Amino acid sequence: MPEPLTIWTYDWVPGGEGGPRGYVRDVRLRWACEEAGLDYAVRSVPFDDRGPAHLARQPFGQIPFLEDDGIVIFESGAALLHLAGKSEVLMPRDRRGAAETLQWIVAALNSMEMVSVPWWFIGLSGKADNPLEGWMISRLEHLETVLAARDWLAADRFTAADLLMADVLRVPKVRRFGNVPALAAYVERVCSRPAFAKARDDQVAYFAAADARRESAN
Ligand SMILES: N[C@@H](CCC(=O)N[C@@H](CS)C(=O)NCC(=O)O)C(=O)O
């Protein structure tokens, strides 16, 4: 009997306004499993102490990583592609649809998130000038042109590419930035899917339950 899929995350992350709950990247894998109707469990590694057992499975001491019947795979994009191999809901099986989905998955990570994360991070300093602002605007505006002409990135329907791109773009600071109405409508459209709400709410509940455990341990 194969083991059920296991999504690994931290046992706790900070809460509060502006905290990461609801945005921690295990949500990408929870969401994908929900969309595809795949059974999964969620397990955790300590947030405070990233020891050898964690580093053996995620060499940067990050999460998420995915376990599938003896295979352990880190990087949310790689794990998402692994899940997409199990379900046509996430990745069309025709050659063109599959190629388009793959292309936009990589674009979400390597053209959008590669800019949005450092832009967001530099912005935390609170300084007026962000040297990545022009780059960020350029990326958003190019994507705006694409999404002004269609509802989905690949194959004329929802795929794992939309899941990933919307997850990158729904970060509050990114969502509030720029004048990109088609992009805003796209994020709204993708994030209104029930599978997303379930995945995000489950993650928030998971970390909230950890608060109680930490309080009783202290
Ligand atoms: N490229 C990685 C990034 C993973 C990542 O940044 N994970 C965050 C949580 S969402 C994390 O583990 N942060 C803690 C750290 O970087 O030390 C992926 O997509 O899996």
Atom of ligand 1 minimally distant from the CA of 28? 19
Task: For residue range 114-166, list pLDDT tens digits in order.
Answer: 999 999 999 998 888 999 999 999 999 999 999 999 999 999 999 999 999 99
Q: How far is CA 80 from CA 28, 85, 132, 145, 179, in A?
A: 7, 9, 28, 26, 30
**Residue 62 near ligand 1, beta carbon < 6 Å:** yes
Q: Ligand 1 mean position to 37 CA, how many Å?
A: 25
Q: How far is CA 202 from CA 23, 30, 98, 194, in A?
A: 12, 9, 29, 12
**Residue 200 near ligand 1, beta carbon < 6 Å:** no
Mean pLDDT, to the nearest integer, of 54-67? 98
Q: Quote the pLDDT of residue 217.
A: 79
Mean pLDDT, to the nearest integer, of 4-23? 94
Q: Which residue segments constitute the domains of the chain, with CATH numbers given?
A: 5-88+195-217 (3.40.30.10), 95-193 (1.20.1050.10)
Q: Quote the pLDDT of residue 1.
A: 66
**Residue 24 near ligand 1, beta carbon < 6 Å:** yes
